[in-house]
A = this chain, B = another copy of it.
Amino acid sequence: MFSTTTTYRVRYSDTDQMGVVYYGEYPRFYEIGRSEMIRDLGYTYKELENTGVFMPVSTVNAKYHKPIYYDELITIETTLKKMPMARMVFYHTIMNEMKEVVHTAEVTLVFLSSETNRPVRVPEYMIRALEKMTDLE
């Protein structure tokens, strides 16, 4: 397992008139989680795109356990459970300021060549970074 933790301050723009974070804002939180994980590996998603690889989302499976409120500093924990091949699965656990788990999500991304628009394998340098920095198999 390889995990990265990042925090996010909930803004007014994230709330809806139920007085909680709108359910459609959570995919942005997953994006923050996975891009900070990739940054922790020594790369950025931006650099990945510059090498001609895009990572569109393929599936999202999410559970809303408890609401998140305005101005909370939430913690987004992102975990890789196995070495990516054709796809990369990120597990996100979001905690509120009391460290309660308020949301969990499993998000799968695929690797696409921007040239051919066809699936490609995970780039070699990402594999090497994961091999060096994690014990994923």
> Which residue in chain B gives the minimum CB-CB distance to A13?
B28
Give this chain's copy count. 4
Interface pair A11/B32, CB less than 8 Å apart: yes
* A102 interfacial contact with B, CB 8 Å: no
The A interface, classified by DSSP as helix, strand, loop or mixed, is: mixed
- Residue-wise, chain A 1-43 has the 8 Å CB interface mask toward B (1 for contact) of 0000000000111011111101111111001100100000000
Nearest CB on B from A78, distance (A) = 14
User: Which of B22, B44, B46, B56 is A13 in contact with, Cβ under 8 Å?
Assistant: B22
| Residue of B with least CB distance to A63 | B59
How many A residues touch B, CB cutoff 8 Å? 35
Known contacts A16-B15, A18-B54; A62/B59 CB under 8 A = yes
From residue 53 to 68 of chain A, which have CB atoms closer than 8 A to chain B?
54, 56-64, 67
| Interface of A toward B, CB cutoff 8 Å | 11-13, 15-20, 22-28, 31-32, 35, 44-46, 54, 56-64, 67, 70-71
Report the 9 A-B pairs with minimum CB-CB distance, sorted nearest first: A24-B27, A15-B17, A23-B57, A46-B71, A17-B19, A60-B62, A13-B28, A15-B16, A61-B61
Known: A57-B64, A61-B61. 19 other contacts (CB 8 A): A11-B35, A12-B16, A12-B31, A13-B24, A13-B31, A15-B16, A15-B17, A17-B19, A20-B56, A24-B24, A24-B25, A24-B26, A27-B27, A35-B71, A56-B64, A59-B62, A60-B60, A60-B62, A61-B62
